[in-house]
Amino acid sequence: MVGRESLGSRLFDLVNIFIMLLLCVIMLYPFLNVIAVSLSNTEHILKGDITIFPKGFNLSAYSYVLKDSFLYSGYLHSIIYAVGSTAFMLTFTSLMAYPLIIPGFMGKKFLSVFLVITMFFGGGLIPTYLLMRNLHLLDTYWVMVIPGCVSAFNVFMFRSFYQSIPSDLRESAVIDGANDIQILFKIYLPLSKPLLATFALFGIVGSWNSWFEALIYLSDENKYPLQLILRKYLFTMSFDSGTGTAAMQAMLMQMKIDPRNIQMAIVVIAMFPIMIIYPFLQKYFVKGVMIGAIKG
Protein backbone atom coordinates (compact mmCIF):
# COMPACT_ATOMS: atom_id res chain seq x y z
CA MET A 1 0.00 0.00 0.00
CA VAL A 2 2.82 2.34 0.92
CA GLY A 3 4.64 1.42 -2.29
CA ARG A 4 1.58 2.18 -4.39
CA GLU A 5 1.13 5.54 -2.72
CA SER A 6 4.80 6.30 -3.25
CA LEU A 7 4.57 5.34 -6.93
CA GLY A 8 1.41 7.41 -7.37
CA SER A 9 3.04 10.37 -5.65
CA ARG A 10 6.07 10.13 -7.93
CA LEU A 11 3.89 9.94 -11.03
CA PHE A 12 1.93 12.96 -9.82
CA ASP A 13 5.18 14.89 -9.29
CA LEU A 14 6.42 13.92 -12.75
CA VAL A 15 3.19 15.05 -14.38
CA ASN A 16 3.33 18.33 -12.46
CA ILE A 17 6.94 18.92 -13.50
CA PHE A 18 6.09 18.17 -17.13
CA ILE A 19 3.13 20.57 -17.08
CA MET A 20 5.20 23.31 -15.42
CA LEU A 21 8.00 22.91 -17.96
CA LEU A 22 5.48 23.01 -20.80
CA LEU A 23 3.93 26.20 -19.41
CA CYS A 24 7.39 27.75 -19.03
CA VAL A 25 8.17 27.01 -22.67
CA ILE A 26 4.80 28.41 -23.81
CA MET A 27 5.33 31.61 -21.80
CA LEU A 28 9.04 32.13 -22.43
CA TYR A 29 9.11 31.45 -26.17
CA PRO A 30 7.18 34.62 -27.26
CA PHE A 31 9.22 36.71 -24.82
CA LEU A 32 12.57 35.39 -26.06
CA ASN A 33 11.42 35.60 -29.69
CA VAL A 34 10.56 39.28 -29.30
CA ILE A 35 14.03 40.02 -27.89
CA ALA A 36 15.68 37.92 -30.61
CA VAL A 37 13.84 39.69 -33.44
CA SER A 38 14.68 43.12 -32.00
CA LEU A 39 18.42 42.27 -32.08
CA SER A 40 18.64 40.29 -35.34
CA ASN A 41 19.84 41.38 -38.74
CA THR A 42 17.35 42.31 -41.43
CA GLU A 43 18.04 39.40 -43.77
CA HIS A 44 17.25 36.83 -41.09
CA ILE A 45 14.01 38.62 -40.17
CA LEU A 46 12.92 38.58 -43.81
CA LYS A 47 13.66 34.85 -43.99
CA GLY A 48 11.61 34.25 -40.84
CA ASP A 49 14.12 31.83 -39.36
CA ILE A 50 14.51 33.45 -35.93
CA THR A 51 13.38 31.46 -32.91
CA ILE A 52 14.65 32.32 -29.42
CA PHE A 53 18.20 33.38 -30.30
CA PRO A 54 19.10 36.47 -32.34
CA LYS A 55 20.86 35.88 -35.65
CA GLY A 56 23.45 38.52 -36.15
CA PHE A 57 23.57 41.48 -33.79
CA ASN A 58 21.86 44.72 -34.68
CA LEU A 59 21.18 47.57 -32.23
CA SER A 60 20.04 50.01 -34.92
CA ALA A 61 16.37 49.58 -33.97
CA TYR A 62 17.05 50.59 -30.36
CA SER A 63 19.16 53.52 -31.56
CA TYR A 64 16.32 54.63 -33.83
CA VAL A 65 13.63 54.32 -31.14
CA LEU A 66 15.66 55.99 -28.37
CA LYS A 67 16.05 59.13 -30.51
CA ASP A 68 12.29 59.74 -30.36
CA SER A 69 11.50 62.40 -27.74
CA PHE A 70 7.91 61.12 -27.49
CA LEU A 71 9.30 57.87 -26.07
CA TYR A 72 10.69 59.64 -22.99
CA SER A 73 7.52 61.69 -22.64
CA GLY A 74 5.46 58.49 -22.84
CA TYR A 75 7.67 56.84 -20.23
CA LEU A 76 7.27 59.77 -17.85
CA HIS A 77 3.51 59.95 -18.25
CA SER A 78 3.08 56.19 -17.93
CA ILE A 79 4.98 56.33 -14.63
CA ILE A 80 2.82 59.25 -13.46
CA TYR A 81 -0.41 57.48 -14.42
CA ALA A 82 0.65 54.11 -12.98
CA VAL A 83 1.92 55.49 -9.67
CA GLY A 84 -0.92 58.00 -9.34
CA SER A 85 -3.76 55.59 -10.13
CA THR A 86 -2.28 52.91 -7.87
CA ALA A 87 -1.84 55.35 -4.98
CA PHE A 88 -5.42 56.55 -5.36
CA MET A 89 -6.68 52.98 -5.60
CA LEU A 90 -4.90 51.80 -2.44
CA THR A 91 -5.88 54.89 -0.46
CA PHE A 92 -9.56 55.08 -1.34
CA THR A 93 -10.08 51.31 -1.29
CA SER A 94 -8.58 51.16 2.21
CA LEU A 95 -10.77 54.03 3.39
CA MET A 96 -13.89 52.38 1.99
CA ALA A 97 -13.14 48.84 3.19
CA TYR A 98 -12.29 49.75 6.78
CA PRO A 99 -15.81 50.90 7.85
CA LEU A 100 -17.25 47.62 6.54
CA ILE A 101 -15.52 45.70 9.36
CA ILE A 102 -16.74 47.97 12.17
CA PRO A 103 -19.65 46.19 13.96
CA GLY A 104 -21.56 49.35 14.86
CA PHE A 105 -21.36 51.07 11.48
CA MET A 106 -24.97 51.73 10.41
CA GLY A 107 -24.35 52.08 6.67
CA LYS A 108 -22.41 48.84 6.33
CA LYS A 109 -25.24 46.81 4.79
CA PHE A 110 -26.27 49.57 2.39
CA LEU A 111 -22.69 50.06 1.15
CA SER A 112 -22.19 46.32 0.72
CA VAL A 113 -25.34 45.99 -1.39
CA PHE A 114 -24.43 49.10 -3.39
CA LEU A 115 -20.97 47.71 -4.14
CA VAL A 116 -22.39 44.35 -5.21
CA ILE A 117 -24.73 46.10 -7.65
CA THR A 118 -21.79 47.93 -9.26
CA MET A 119 -20.13 44.56 -9.90
CA PHE A 120 -23.02 43.52 -12.18
CA PHE A 121 -24.12 46.82 -13.74
CA GLY A 122 -21.95 49.55 -15.26
CA GLY A 123 -22.71 52.89 -16.83
CA GLY A 124 -21.12 52.05 -20.17
CA LEU A 125 -18.53 53.82 -22.28
CA ILE A 126 -20.59 56.73 -23.60
CA PRO A 127 -22.12 57.78 -20.23
CA THR A 128 -18.67 57.54 -18.66
CA TYR A 129 -17.19 59.75 -21.38
CA LEU A 130 -20.00 62.29 -20.95
CA LEU A 131 -19.41 62.28 -17.20
CA MET A 132 -15.70 62.95 -17.68
CA ARG A 133 -16.53 65.79 -20.06
CA ASN A 134 -19.06 67.36 -17.69
CA LEU A 135 -16.50 67.18 -14.88
CA HIS A 136 -13.96 68.94 -17.16
CA LEU A 137 -11.50 66.07 -16.77
CA LEU A 138 -10.91 65.37 -20.46
CA ASP A 139 -7.34 65.85 -21.63
CA THR A 140 -6.06 66.23 -18.06
CA TYR A 141 -3.85 64.08 -15.86
CA TRP A 142 -6.74 63.49 -13.46
CA VAL A 143 -8.79 61.57 -16.03
CA MET A 144 -6.09 58.90 -16.07
CA VAL A 145 -5.86 58.39 -12.31
CA ILE A 146 -9.27 59.11 -10.74
CA PRO A 147 -11.79 56.94 -12.71
CA GLY A 148 -11.78 53.38 -11.49
CA CYS A 149 -9.75 54.07 -8.36
CA VAL A 150 -12.42 52.25 -6.30
CA SER A 151 -13.46 48.77 -7.39
CA ALA A 152 -16.08 46.70 -5.60
CA PHE A 153 -13.95 43.57 -5.97
CA ASN A 154 -10.92 45.32 -4.43
CA VAL A 155 -13.02 46.66 -1.55
CA PHE A 156 -14.30 43.18 -0.68
CA MET A 157 -10.78 41.75 -0.85
CA PHE A 158 -9.51 44.49 1.47
CA ARG A 159 -12.43 43.85 3.83
CA SER A 160 -11.67 40.12 3.91
CA PHE A 161 -8.05 40.78 4.78
CA TYR A 162 -8.96 43.31 7.50
CA GLN A 163 -11.35 40.76 9.00
CA SER A 164 -8.44 38.33 9.39
CA ILE A 165 -6.66 40.83 11.67
CA PRO A 166 -7.62 40.21 15.33
CA SER A 167 -10.32 42.64 16.43
CA ASP A 168 -8.62 42.84 19.85
CA LEU A 169 -6.04 45.16 18.32
CA ARG A 170 -8.71 47.65 17.31
CA GLU A 171 -10.48 47.40 20.66
CA SER A 172 -7.23 48.02 22.52
CA ALA A 173 -6.49 51.04 20.34
CA VAL A 174 -9.98 52.45 20.97
CA ILE A 175 -9.47 52.06 24.72
CA ASP A 176 -6.16 53.93 24.41
CA GLY A 177 -8.00 56.81 22.73
CA ALA A 178 -7.11 56.25 19.08
CA ASN A 179 -9.60 57.32 16.44
CA ASP A 180 -10.47 55.31 13.32
CA ILE A 181 -8.02 57.16 11.07
CA GLN A 182 -5.16 56.39 13.46
CA ILE A 183 -6.27 52.76 13.77
CA LEU A 184 -6.39 52.34 10.00
CA PHE A 185 -3.06 53.97 9.20
CA LYS A 186 -1.07 52.85 12.26
CA ILE A 187 -2.42 49.33 12.82
CA TYR A 188 -4.29 47.87 9.84
CA LEU A 189 -2.22 49.18 6.95
CA PRO A 190 1.19 48.28 8.48
CA LEU A 191 -0.16 44.74 8.99
CA SER A 192 -1.45 44.63 5.40
CA LYS A 193 1.83 44.74 3.47
CA PRO A 194 1.10 41.55 1.45
CA LEU A 195 -2.33 42.95 0.55
CA LEU A 196 -0.99 46.36 -0.45
CA ALA A 197 1.98 44.93 -2.37
CA THR A 198 -0.19 42.49 -4.33
CA PHE A 199 -2.77 45.08 -5.33
CA ALA A 200 -0.06 47.63 -6.02
CA LEU A 201 1.48 45.16 -8.46
CA PHE A 202 -1.89 44.52 -10.12
CA GLY A 203 -2.62 48.25 -10.26
CA ILE A 204 0.76 49.23 -11.71
CA VAL A 205 0.72 46.48 -14.34
CA GLY A 206 -2.89 47.24 -15.30
CA SER A 207 -2.23 50.96 -15.62
CA TRP A 208 1.07 50.45 -17.46
CA ASN A 209 -0.57 48.22 -20.08
CA SER A 210 -3.65 50.42 -20.46
CA TRP A 211 -4.02 52.40 -23.67
CA PHE A 212 -7.74 52.54 -24.50
CA GLU A 213 -8.61 55.10 -21.81
CA ALA A 214 -5.82 57.39 -22.98
CA LEU A 215 -6.97 57.02 -26.59
CA ILE A 216 -10.48 58.13 -25.62
CA TYR A 217 -9.83 60.79 -23.00
CA LEU A 218 -6.57 62.41 -24.19
CA SER A 219 -6.16 64.51 -27.31
CA ASP A 220 -2.83 66.15 -26.46
CA GLU A 221 0.00 63.92 -27.72
CA ASN A 222 2.32 65.44 -25.12
CA LYS A 223 0.25 63.62 -22.44
CA TYR A 224 0.18 60.25 -24.18
CA PRO A 225 1.37 57.24 -22.13
CA LEU A 226 3.98 54.84 -23.44
CA GLN A 227 1.40 52.35 -24.71
CA LEU A 228 0.01 54.85 -27.20
CA ILE A 229 3.56 55.51 -28.41
CA LEU A 230 3.91 51.75 -28.83
CA ARG A 231 0.61 51.65 -30.71
CA LYS A 232 1.84 54.40 -33.03
CA TYR A 233 4.97 52.42 -33.88
CA LEU A 234 3.04 49.21 -34.46
CA PHE A 235 0.74 50.96 -36.93
CA THR A 236 3.22 53.23 -38.73
CA MET A 237 5.74 50.43 -39.16
CA SER A 238 3.22 47.97 -40.65
CA PHE A 239 4.17 48.25 -44.30
CA ASP A 240 2.26 45.11 -45.15
CA SER A 241 -0.95 46.96 -44.34
CA GLY A 242 0.03 49.99 -46.41
CA THR A 243 0.22 52.37 -43.45
CA GLY A 244 3.98 52.99 -43.72
CA THR A 245 5.18 55.75 -46.04
CA ALA A 246 7.59 55.10 -48.88
CA ALA A 247 10.04 57.68 -47.50
CA MET A 248 10.13 55.96 -44.13
CA GLN A 249 10.57 52.58 -45.76
CA ALA A 250 13.49 53.89 -47.84
CA MET A 251 15.08 55.42 -44.75
CA LEU A 252 14.82 52.18 -42.80
CA MET A 253 16.27 50.20 -45.71
CA GLN A 254 19.21 52.61 -45.81
CA MET A 255 19.74 52.11 -42.06
CA LYS A 256 19.40 48.32 -42.56
CA ILE A 257 16.46 48.15 -40.17
CA ASP A 258 13.39 46.03 -40.71
CA PRO A 259 10.07 47.44 -39.38
CA ARG A 260 9.76 44.37 -37.19
CA ASN A 261 13.11 45.29 -35.60
CA ILE A 262 11.58 48.55 -34.40
CA GLN A 263 8.27 46.98 -33.40
CA MET A 264 9.95 44.38 -31.21
CA ALA A 265 12.46 46.90 -29.82
CA ILE A 266 9.70 49.21 -28.58
CA VAL A 267 7.89 46.20 -27.08
CA VAL A 268 11.04 45.26 -25.13
CA ILE A 269 11.50 48.85 -23.96
CA ALA A 270 7.85 49.06 -22.89
CA MET A 271 7.90 45.90 -20.77
CA PHE A 272 11.29 46.55 -19.16
CA PRO A 273 10.02 48.54 -16.12
CA ILE A 274 7.51 45.84 -15.15
CA MET A 275 10.31 43.28 -15.25
CA ILE A 276 12.25 45.48 -12.83
CA ILE A 277 9.37 46.02 -10.39
CA TYR A 278 8.09 42.45 -10.10
CA PRO A 279 11.08 40.87 -8.25
CA PHE A 280 10.77 43.41 -5.42
CA LEU A 281 7.09 42.58 -4.86
CA GLN A 282 7.34 38.84 -5.49
CA LYS A 283 7.86 37.94 -1.82
CA TYR A 284 4.45 39.42 -0.98
CA PHE A 285 2.69 37.97 -4.01
CA VAL A 286 2.14 34.42 -2.72
CA LYS A 287 0.60 35.75 0.52
CA GLY A 288 -1.47 38.28 -1.35
CA VAL A 289 -3.06 35.86 -3.81
CA MET A 290 -4.43 33.85 -0.86
CA ILE A 291 -6.54 36.82 0.28
CA GLY A 292 -10.13 35.71 0.73
CA ALA A 293 -9.28 32.01 0.45
CA ILE A 294 -10.39 31.36 4.03
CA LYS A 295 -12.68 34.26 4.90
CA GLY A 296 -15.21 35.55 2.40
Q: What is the pLDDT of residue 48?
A: 77
What pLDDT is recorded for position 291?
56
Best CA proximity match to 69, nearest among 215, 209, 224, 204: 224
pTM, entire model: 0.80
Per-residue pLDDT tens digits for 264-294: 888 888 888 888 877 776 666 655 555 555 4
Pair 271, 205: CB distance under 8 Å: no
Q: What is the pLDDT of residue 296?
A: 44
**Is pLDDT at 248 greater than 60 in this prediction?**
no
> How far is the CA of 197 from the CAs of 139, 277, 281, 285, in angstroms?
30, 11, 6, 7
User: What average pLDDT does the segment 77-106 reach?
Assistant: 90
